[in-house]
Structure 1
């Protein structure tokens, strides 16, 4: 197992360098930048700023300079916020992690439970009802669902706040602050769960239905084992193997999947500043955040490979 993990780690290094080059090339070749978008600057001042930030240098020189900064842990300097990109992301990334991690835990638990019940009773009223609700939730555009939840729970019923992370002007601390954050988390978490739980439920259901048709499940039933034991002890572990692959996308999805949700609910997360930086063409922030997502994607796939090898020893032998 240790050799398998070491081989996977060595394979990630060239992928990281290749990802950094592609990300830099895409943003470097994008027409315009933060300086070009500032119409108040004279041509002379714009040229001075480009020289100051090294934007007038050849493409390869700029990439090598940026790569050297990355190796020192420096993601660059934000032209819009006038602070280092690493400091800017550190201010907001943990808010995104709080929101997305709570949502991910909830929709994985819901999808697992509902998927198992649907697979145990295929074609039942519960199975049909779940399918209708899943496709109804998945058919809503993200921004429309978020606005609909605000309309129902914040505007009409006055149960929950419209957006933000705490009450306006609040200086609460301790449990009072926790209660405010929890209340403001409710609607964005609900939106993310409704959008993500449906497809994951279908994955669980389909995978489990494939497994229960296999010979070893029929053998377990022939031994007289209870259906719950057959499903939870024998079928579930094998059904989870294809689902492990999805974990490789869940890690970057913690931060990239809630971009629109954070913006609609005015949640102070990385998605919020990402959209603002995109509008301002603040490319150092966009490159830093995109590289961060690329690193998470590679680490997520590495984690999925390790879990897959742990769950199925044949993977380690073949690899």
Structure 2
């Protein structure tokens, strides 16, 4: 197992270098930047600022300089907010992490329970009803679903707040702060669960159906094992193998933020910062944050490989 992990770690080095190269040149070749978009600057002042931030240097030299900063843990400097990118993200990224983690736990739990139940009784009334509800939820555009939830639960029923993370001017502390955040968290979590649970449920159902039809499941039933034991102990463990890959790719999603959902609900997360930086053409923020997500994606893939090899030792022998 140790050799397997070491090989996988060594394979991530060229992947990270290639990712940094692509990310830098995609943004560097994009026309305009934050300084060009500031119409209040004179040509002389714009030239001075570009020289100050090194934007007038050759592209290859700028890439090597940016790569050197990344190796030191420096994601760059925000031209719009005038603070380091790491500091800026640290102010907002944990809000996205909170939202994504709560939503992920809920839609993975719902998808697992509903997917297994649908696979145990395929083509039953319950299975057909779940299929209809899944496709109905997945067919809603994100912005329409979010606005619909706001109208129902915030405007009409007054059960939940419209948006934000805390009430305006709130000075809540302790448990009162937790309850206030939970109330503001409810609507965006419901939106994300409705959008994500459907496809994941279909994955669980399809994987369970494939496993249930295998010979060793028939053998387990023929031996007189209870159906509960056959499904949970024998079928579910093997059905989860293909899902492990999906779980590894959830890691960057915990920090990337849900762009549309956070914007509509005014949730102060990383998605909100991405949209603001994109409109202001603050490319250092976008490059640093995209590189951070690339690292998380590669680490998530590595985590999925390790979990897969741990669950199925045959993977280690073939690698």
Shorter-normalised TM range? over 0.9
Which blocks of at least 5 consecutive residues in structure 2 are unaligned?
A: none
Cα distance in 1 for residues equivalent to 2:261 and 2:269: 10
Cα distance in 2 for residues equivalent to 1:199 and 1:171: 40
CA deviations over 1:143-195 (Å, ceiling 9, x no partner): 11111100110011000000100000101111111111000000001101000
Cα distance in 1 for residues equivalent to 2:273 and 2:256: 12
**2:145 corresponds to:** 145
Cα distance in 2 for residues equivalent to 1:257 and 1:316: 34
Task: Work out whether residues 96 and 269 of structure 2, in 8 Å CA contact, stay in contact via their aligned partners in 1.
Answer: yes
**1:159 corresponds to:** 159
Cα distance in 2 for residues equivalent to 1:297 and 1:100: 15
Cα distance in 1 for residues equivalent to 2:137 and 2:253: 19
**2:66 corresponds to:** 66
**1:197 corresponds to:** 197
CA deviations over 1:225-255 (Å, ceiling 9, x no partner): 1211111111001100111111222111223
1:300 deviation in Å? 0.4
Cα distance in 2 for residues equivalent to 1:26 and 1:193: 33
TM-score (norm 1): 0.99
Cα distance in 1 for residues equivalent to 2:254 and 2:174: 26
Cα distance in 2 for residues equivalent to 1:116 and 1:133: 16
Task: Work out whether residues 257 and 269 of structure 2, in 8 Å CA contact, stay in contact via their aligned partners in 1.
Answer: no
Task: Work out whether residues 97 and 257 of structure 2, in 8 Å CA contact, stay in contact via their aligned partners in 1.
Answer: no
Aligned to 2:83, what secondary structure does the other structure show? coil
Task: Work out whether residues 134 and 198 of structure 2, in 8 Å CA contact, stay in contact via their aligned partners in 1.
Answer: yes
**1:87 corresponds to:** 87
Structure 1's 82 and 257: CA in aligned 2 closer, same or farther, altered over 3 A?
closer
**1:120 corresponds to:** 120
Task: Work out whether residues 107 and 193 of structure 1, in 8 Å CA contact, stay in contact via their aligned partners in 2.
Answer: yes
1:257 deviation in Å? 5.4
TM-score (norm 2): 0.99
Aligned residues: 319
Cα distance in 2 for residues equivalent to 1:25 and 1:33: 13
Cα distance in 2 for residues equivalent to 1:296 and 1:93: 13
CA deviations over 1:7-52 (Å, ceiling 9, x no partner): 1111111111111111001000001100111111111111111111
Task: Work out whether residues 37 and 281 of structure 1, in 8 Å CA contact, stay in contact via their aligned partners in 2.
Answer: yes
Query: Moved runs in structure 1, 4+ residues, more than 2 A?
Result: none
CA deviations over 1:94-137 (Å, ceiling 9, x no partner): 11100001100110010000001000111111111110010000
Cα distance in 1 for residues equivalent to 2:251 and 2:257: 10
User: Which range is displaced more, 250-259 or 304-313?
Assistant: 250-259
Aligned to 1:56, what secondary structure does the other structure show? coil
CA deviations over 1:255-310 (Å, ceiling 9, x no partner): 33511111111101111111100000000000011011101100000000000001
**1:77 corresponds to:** 77
Cα distance in 2 for residues equivalent to 1:110 and 1:180: 25
**1:254 corresponds to:** 254
Cα distance in 1 for residues equivalent to 2:215 and 2:304: 27
Task: Work out whether residues 166 and 181 of structure 1, in 8 Å CA contact, stay in contact via their aligned partners in 2.
Answer: yes
Structure 1's 169 and 257: CA in aligned 2 closer, same or farther, altered over 3 A?
closer
Asked if 1:240 corresponds to 2:240, the answer is yes
Aligned to 2:46, what secondary structure does the other structure show? helix
Cα distance in 2 for residues equivalent to 1:252 and 1:65: 25
Cα distance in 1 for residues equivalent to 2:140 and 2:127: 21
